[in-house]
A and B are shown apart, each in its own frame.
Chain A
């Protein structure tokens, strides 16, 4: 296989990995912020 084609697959895999990691950790951060706001509002 042409090395440039191989690099395309590697790019896809790492894009997928780091993209998913950023989305997942951001979702945790957003949910924490929302939960803190909700608790602060009800206190």
Chain B
């Protein structure tokens, strides 16, 4: 069995928590300082947390795909831990993006939820990655778990472009891209700058979160290995599968 690369416990660092708090504060100050939108008024401020949350979902699942592909190639558990940590954070931010979208939809569209292509595909993506996290709990064998999860981690990335381009490919109630488009941003410069600050702050927050979540993943792998080294044979170990092929 492959053991975690670092066997001794290093002291837990505090600075990622500080970075997360500062990044959150920067987003809040920037979002509250900018002028409101001429049409949506104060409601436009929801954009400065909704869009970064959705961006982090994309980024996190992209990193999950990268970590999964690297595990399948290198067979090192550190890549599986990267994929796992990023998937959990991605699920969190997908759920947050959905919740914030609903909070924005109710006062602007008049409904909390509608079966629009963007919304429906995002919900499916959320549940598929919840399935990824559930799949990891089906076995304690670190290699088997990593292999199963990595295959799903690579395949599931197809949903990210589907979600992103759904507003372009299908008629949608959700607005089309307003920043990254051939004609340039369709927004006031101050709003674009604020949105970019919020996206950058959330990205820094993601990096800090990943450092702590990977520390946890490493500790969890250590515990699993520790527990398995103290376990005697299980009752089922004595049962041998029947040789139906007659030894051929």
Chain A binding site: helix, strand, loop or mixed by DSSP? Answer: helix
Give the contacting residue for B219; candidates A3, A9, A29, A36; CB below 8 A.
Answer: A36
Say whether, besides A32-B212, A35-B223, A25 and B20 are in contact (CB < 8 Å). Answer: yes
Please, how many angstroms separate the alpha-carbon atoms of A4 and B49 in the complex? Answer: 20
Q: Are B100 and A39 in contact (CB under 8 A)?
A: no
Chain B positions 37 through 56: 1 when the CB is less than 8 Å from some CB of chain A, otherwise 0:
00001110110011001000
Give the contacting residue for A13; candidates B41, B46, B95; CB below 8 A.
Answer: B46
Chain B binding site: helix, strand, loop or mixed by DSSP? Answer: helix
Q: Are A38 and B223 in contact (CB under 8 A)?
A: yes
Say whether, besides A21-B24, A35-B219, A39-B223, A28 and B213 are in contact (CB < 8 Å). Answer: yes
Q: Are B219 and A13 in contact (CB under 8 A)?
A: no
Tally of contact residues, B, Cβ under 8 A: 35
Tally of contact residues, A, Cβ under 8 A: 27
Q: Are B103 and A9 in contact (CB under 8 A)?
A: yes
For A6, A17, A40, A42, the residue with the greatest tally of chain B CB atoms inside 10 Å of its CB is A17
Please name all residues of chain B whose beta carbon is closer than 8 Å to the beta carbon of A32 when the two chains form the complex: 12, 212, 215-216, 219
Interface status of B9 (Cβ within 8 A of chain A): yes
Please name all residues of chain B whose beta carbon is closer than 8 Å to the beta carbon of A40 when the two chains form the complex: 9
Please name all residues of chain B whose beta carbon is closer than 8 Å to the beta carbon of A35 when the two chains form the complex: 216, 219-220, 222-223
Interface residues of B in 9-53 (CB under 8 A from A): 9, 12, 17, 20, 24, 28, 31, 41-43, 45-46, 49-50, 53
Please name all residues of chain A whose beta carbon is closer than 8 Å to the beta carbon of B17 when the two chains form the complex: 25, 29
Interface status of B131 (Cβ within 8 A of chain A): no
Interface residues of B in 195-242 (CB under 8 A from A): 205, 209, 212-213, 215-216, 219-220, 222-223, 226
Q: Distance (Å) between the CB of A22 and the closest chain B CB?
A: 9
Interface residues of A in 1-37 (CB under 8 A from B): 1, 3, 5-7, 9-10, 12-14, 16-18, 20-21, 24-25, 28-29, 31-32, 35-36
Q: Are B209 and A25 in contact (CB under 8 A)?
A: yes
Q: Distance (Å) between the CB of A8 and the closest chain B CB?
A: 9
Please name all residues of chain A whose beta carbon is closer than 8 Å to the beta carbon of B20 when the two chains form the complex: 21, 25
Q: Are A9 and B223 in contact (CB under 8 A)?
A: no
16 contacts between A and B (CB under 8 A): A3-B41, A5-B107, A6-B42, A7-B42, A9-B103, A9-B106, A13-B49, A13-B50, A13-B104, A14-B49, A20-B95, A28-B212, A29-B17, A32-B212, A38-B223, A42-B226
Given contacts A25-B17, A32-B12, 13 further A-B contacts (CB under 8 A): A1-B107, A5-B107, A6-B107, A7-B42, A9-B106, A13-B46, A13-B104, A16-B96, A16-B99, A20-B95, A28-B213, A32-B212, A32-B216
